[in-house]
A and B are shown apart, each in its own frame.
Chain A
């Protein structure tokens, strides 16, 4: 194995780990759902009545 392909391999491992920990971080808040269950979040609103933001 050449030096450059070794470095490429190391880089790939590091990148894979970085993505894996990012995904784990994303899951951390809710935790894994129990087996067979789908995890879904509803963000809902109603009766906004044409309001946008406070005035001053």
Chain B
């Protein structure tokens, strides 16, 4: 989950501390997929508009266009561009007939008494039919457009930045061929944050997907030499510091309910894992002290080269929200919920939404489990799983199909139509969420056994950004049904 209000607050706080802060996004801002399911168009485009308002509020300097940003169609993005205070950049999304780009190919900015040029490139990998005949558009290769852009900007910028949604391997090739580009911020499928990597004289970096983190890259730039110094030694220190931060966060999770030695005294596995983290932290502390001493010794002759430091900030739950962006997000989610409510109403008359609602394939509902598993059912009634839908309802988001799958049973992978029409008996995180569809088990209890929940079952919803206190063995011990 994105946590835009948290991201905005991080940016505000950074700007309070530092002058010369530039906010950039390299693309895939609006949509996850290259195609929008027809029944989710309104919800997703409403959210996209909300995101643009939030980015306006955050004063983003430029945003790159990735293929996913075209999911609602080129006309939608062209219209949305009119509502953005920042330029959408793509040098290679061009008219099929004239070859002219549909969006600004680059933008020039002045910051920290420097002229900066930012170029946008849209990745052209993937299906050919993303753009329709009617769009009269084509995504050109980077080889066709980039040399021209670079030569156009020659002598006009102290630093050249590329926002690229080409795959990492292509960006490395670009860096290799064009050392005039000093920084590539890329978008694409990264399962984690990618620390800056130096190729030739170009830094390439990226944050993990789904808005889970932001990257902060602080540089000291020599506009005369325009050369990066050797970052490997300093980077090692930063990597170790980032590792230490992560460890501190993990250790904090074990300590949230008091001294782990007391809390987990009956769970030796959990305690062993906790103690291993403590040992690891001690080792890291020593290593960081050594690297720091080495760094101090190196600091004498660095003015002729440029240097950088970086960090990635995870959008953790406890980070503060920015009130203005929070309001934008709240307005957007309320609108999304209103649209869902209208859709649910419209469907009420269809055969799918009968009075008892829909049971997706092989689902039977928690009430069926109750008849044989009385103590287990009673225990479940006292968990937050049993009131997950009520929580959503209390927030007025019970028609928000983005939120619903984690607050009901059997909604993953289902169409919006089914998600909005689920039977009342599935409108909670019920037995089948953990144990899988159990219609067969209800019919033949002895021969068809339900699943045992695995960590992956829980991680569909208890992701780090949704629930950064989630520890699987601890959750399992707390929620375990016991012998059926």
> Which residues of chain A come closer than 8 Å to B406, judged between CB atoms?
55
Question: For the side of the interface on B, what is the size category?
Answer: 35 or more
A40 CB-CB contact with B under 8 Å? yes
- On whether the beta carbons of A42 and B24 are closer than 8 Å, the reply is yes
A13 adjacent to chain B (CB < 8 Å):
no
The verdict on A52 contacting B2 (CB below 8 Å), with A40-B114, A44-B185 known, is yes
Contacting pair A38 B220 (CB below 8 A): yes
Q: With an 8 A cutoff between CB atoms, is B410 at the interface?
A: no
B332: Cβ under 8 A from any A Cβ: yes
**A50 near B48: Cβ-Cβ < 8 Å:** yes
For the residues of A in contact with B, the DSSP-based class is: loop
Please count how many residues in chain A sit with their CB below 8 Å of the partner chain's CB atoms: 27
Is the CB of A43 closer than 8 A to any CB of chain B? yes
Chain A residues with Cβ under 8 A from B466's Cβ? Answer: 54
For window 11-32 of chain A, which residues contact chain B by CB distance below 8 Å? 26, 29-30
| B113 sits at the interface (CB 8 A) | yes
Are B2 and A38 touching (Cβ within 8 A)?
A: no
Q: Do the beta carbons of B218 and A55 come within 8 Å of each other?
A: no
Chain A residues within 8 Å of B18, by CB: 26, 29-30, 39, 41
- Please give the distance in Å from B184's CB to the nearest CB on chain A: 11
| Residues of B216-266 whose CB lies within 8 A of A | 216-224
B24, A48: Cβ atoms under 8 Å?
A: no
Task: Assess whether A44 is in contact with B190, with CB atoms less than 8 Å apart.
Answer: no
In the complex the two chains form, is A44's CB within 8 Å of B218's CB? no
Question: Interface of A with B (CB < 8 Å)?
Answer: 26, 29-30, 33-56
B residues touching A (Cβ–Cβ < 8 Å)?
1-7, 10-11, 14, 16-32, 44, 47-48, 50-51, 54, 64, 66, 68, 111-114, 116, 158-159, 183, 185-190, 205-211, 213-224, 302-304, 306-307, 317, 329, 332-333, 388, 391-392, 395, 397, 400, 402-403, 406-407, 465-466
18 new A-B contacts at CB < 8 Å, known A33-B220, A43-B24? A38-B20, A39-B20, A41-B14, A42-B24, A42-B219, A43-B14, A44-B23, A44-B25, A44-B26, A44-B215, A46-B26, A47-B66, A47-B209, A49-B28, A49-B68, A53-B2, A53-B329, A54-B3
